[in-house]
Amino acid sequence: MAGAAESIRLRGQPSPAGVAGRAQRRAARRSWLVPLALLLPSGLALGGIILYPLTYSLYLSFHELPLFGARPRFVGLEQFRRLLASDWFWHDLWNTTVFTAGSVLVQLTAGVGLALLLNRLRTGRSVLRGLLLAPYIVPTVVVALLWRWVLNDLYGIIPHLLTTLGIPSPQWLANPSWAMATVIGINAWMFFPFVLLVVMARLEGVPPSLYEAAALDGAGGWQRFRYVTLPQLREVLVVVGLLRGIWMFNKFDSVWLITAGGPVGATETLPILGYIASFARFDLGAGAAVGTVVFAIIMALTVAYLWLLRTEE
Amino acid sequence: MRARWLREALLLVLAIGAVLAVDFPIAWMPLSSIKEFGDLFSSPPRIVPREITFRHYITLFERTGFGTYFVNSTVVALATVALSLLLSLPAAYALTRYRFPGREAYARFALLAYMFPPVFLAIPLFVILVRMRLGNSYVGLVLTHMTFALPFSIWLLRAFFRAVPLELEEAAWVDGATQLQGVWHVVLPLSFAGVMATAIFTAVLSWNDYLFAAILMTTEGKKTLPLAVALLTSEASSTEWGVIMAAGVLVTIPAVALFAGMHRYVVQGIGVGALKE
């Protein structure tokens, strides 16, 4: 890997460049001032727009602050006590878990399946790949209104096609027992192209000799997938699965724009709970408390991700 | 030999079937946007319109400030790209070309920051920006877009800069180039695809943002497209689907154009940057 070679170089091994070059490099690379100056602007920006707000959010979650009120009032752990005592929190935590697990699973399956299919094609591979990326490119707002139209109970094309084929079509978004599945499906549709791209890139790196060896051993199609392809994809799938899991756990806009958490809370997830608390009930302290809890869960997931990366190295 | 052809044909049919299934809801949108009311709300739905109309597009521009929203979104996206490149290019260079304590920690933080829940950054940012009198302003909105654009750019550019061999830069120095000249003539041209991919991604992320615009932009004339379109759907009665679809088409075109024009960079971009160090 280029990265590894580079870090070895940076540790001061001689390179083909001349002595003068080496001296200059030493002088440049050992300096602290230059990298500090280069990193300072972005560091300040990240501090101002990410670290400071996060700290402030933590502070807010120990306070009561009405949206149009004057000063935050310290209430200790009261916000957390109220949150954990409410049925909605546990209901929404469960919904978030179902939503995350469901949409990650579906997008991984669809992404890997289609990547394997395209990978075996000789003709039109890149055109078809480009066409399959389309859902990933359409803006989230448009995805939401598009699906609400396509699934419309009265005039939607999908209910019509299903009924024509003799398949009963439920009220996809209005029926509480179907809404979550529908929202999961739409999110998986939006994000499977990411998995597809990553997996296709990885498949190109699988040495053909592995398949030749497997063929010599008399392995069939399934066995080649099970013992050659899957182990090669494992690492990438672990990383993509976790990344997508974190993003889905945080997902606000698509769910909000498709159902706004409804019907009767059937698709309400924790990000939606936090948004409603802050900007519909105007209780910023309560919203911040939801944020702190979700943040703790995300941090746990992220630490798991970084730890996995480390062991994979 | 014949079995091979047969297999290829079979796979191709499968793949085309998948593409049709995946893309047909998207294709349905422009089709709906040019249908007359009769075809739009007929039961069973008509796939091919009897008559083509552009009345929904005209209604959209007449009844809403669509042109204004379009300009707003463009300005915000361009400013976000410019500001995040300005800050992330030097950062990514420092992270790949120098060794110093805290280098890995900084890079990790950038990755972590990209995973912070946006909804929960939005709550404190809203309070902070309103206190700074930056609520309902483009400056405030661009700052909130930086929360995703900047960490993302740093992370992506770092991956691309790493792929540029140090030796090439050193060779330029030996030939008497200054470090800045080395960056300009060697590093940037060699990572051009990466810089482009980063810029496109950042622009699209900003173009798509609904959340920050929703909490920050309160006056009609300052709304961005996603916010305006979302409001259109919540206010519209069931007869407005033609107008809504027209709006959807117009919001999607710039995003698709960016991706299509630079498909090559984007594919490379996801391949190198998104995943592993």
Q: Please choose, from the candidates A180, A183, A158, A181, the residue with its C-alpha nearest in 3D space to the C-alpha of residue A168.
A: A158
Is residue A248 classed exposed, middle or buried when 0-12, 13-18 and 19+ CB atoms within 10 A define those classes?
buried
Number of residues in chain A: 313
Which tokens belong to A246? 């974190």
- pLDDT at residue number B125: 93
Residue to test with chain B: of A50, A154, A284, A303, most B Cβ within 10 A: A50
Comparison of pLDDT for A19 and A157, the residue scoring more: A157
* Average pLDDT score over residue span A275-302: 87
Judged against a pLDDT cut of 60, whether residue A22 lies above it is answered with no
CB contact under 8 A, B124 and A128: no
Judged against a pLDDT cut of 70, whether residue A114 lies above it is answered with yes
Q: How far is CA A165 from CA A158, A160, A168, B7, B24, in A?
A: 11, 9, 9, 28, 17
3-state SS, residue A70: coil
Cβ atoms < 10 Å from Cβ of B199: 21
Q: How confident is the model at residue A9 (pLDDT cuts 50, 70, 90)?
A: very low
CB contact under 8 A, B120 and A294: yes
| pTM of structure | 0.86
Worst-scoring range by mean pLDDT, A5-9, A199-203, A307-311? A5-9
Which tokens belong to B58? 């005209």
Alpha-carbon gap, residue A37 to A53, rounded angstroms: 24
* Average pLDDT score over residue span A28-44: 81
Q: Which residues of chain B have pLDDT under 70?
A: 1, 235-239, 261, 263-264, 266-277
The answer to whether A105 faces chain B, any CB pair under 8 Å, is: no
- Identity of the amino acid at A262: G
* Average pLDDT score over residue span A160-177: 87
Question: Using a CB cutoff of 8 Å and minimum separation of 24, what contacts does A166-172 make?
Answer: none
- pLDDT at residue number A7: 32
Residue of A nearest to B114 (CA): A247
Q: How far is CA B175 from CA A273, B21, B181, in A?
A: 61, 57, 11
Instruction: Round to the nearest angstrom and report the end-to-end CA distance of chain A.
Output: 12
Instruction: Report chain B's C-alpha Rg in angstroms.
Output: 23
The answer to whether A23 faces chain B, any CB pair under 8 Å, is: no
Q: Shortest Cα distance from A34 to chain B (angstroms)?
A: 8
- pLDDT at residue number B57: 92
CB contact under 8 A, B210 and A137: no
Q: How confident is the model at residue A21 (pLDDT cuts 50, 70, 90)?
A: very low
Judged against a pLDDT cut of 60, whether residue A13 lies above it is answered with no
Domains assigned to chain A: 1-30 (no CATH), 79-312 (1.10.3720.10)
> Above pLDDT 70, what percent of chain A?
87
The answer to whether A116 faces chain B, any CB pair under 8 Å, is: no
Alpha-carbon gap, residue A245 to A102, rounded angstroms: 10
Residues of chain B positioned with their CB less than 8 A from the CB of A268: none
Residues of chain B positioned with their CB less than 8 A from the CB of A32: 100
pLDDT tens track for B240-277 = 888 899 999 999 999 888 877 676 675 655 555 444 33
Q: Shortest Cα distance from A16 to chain B (angstroms)?
A: 8
- pLDDT at residue number B76: 97
Judged against a pLDDT cut of 80, whether residue A310 lies above it is answered with no
Q: Which CATH fold would you assign to the domain B64-273?
A: MetI-like fold (1.10.3720)
Supply the ipTM of this predicted assembly.
0.87
Q: Shortest Cα distance from B232 to chain A (angstroms)?
A: 10
CB contact under 8 A, B96 and A6: yes
CB contact under 8 A, A287 and B123: yes
Q: Please choose, from the candidates B260, B264, B241, B276, the residue with its C-alpha nearest in 3D space to the C-alpha of residue B29.
A: B241
CB contact under 8 A, A250 and B119: yes
Q: How far is CA B210 from CA A152, A192, A257, B26, in A?
A: 23, 21, 9, 20
Residues of chain A positioned with their CB less than 8 A from the CB of B118: 250, 252
Q: Shortest Cα distance from A150 to chain B (angstroms)?
A: 7
Q: How far is CA B122 from CA A50, A171, B119, B274, in A?
A: 10, 33, 5, 24
Judged against a pLDDT cut of 70, whether residue A14 lies above it is answered with no
* Bridge partner list, A64: A73
Name the most confidently modeled range: A161-170, A187-196, B52-61. Answer: A187-196
CB contact under 8 A, B233 and A148: yes
Q: How confident is the model at residue A40 (pLDDT cuts 50, 70, 90)?
A: very high
Q: Shortest Cα distance from A66 to chain B (angstroms)?
A: 11
Residue to test with chain A: of B33, B35, B120, B234, most A Cβ within 10 A: B120
Residues of chain A positioned with their CB less than 8 A from the CB of B162: 2-3, 6
Alpha-carbon gap, residue B182 to B173, rounded angstroms: 7
3-state SS, residue A156: coil
How many beta-carbon pairs below 8 A join chains A and B? 290
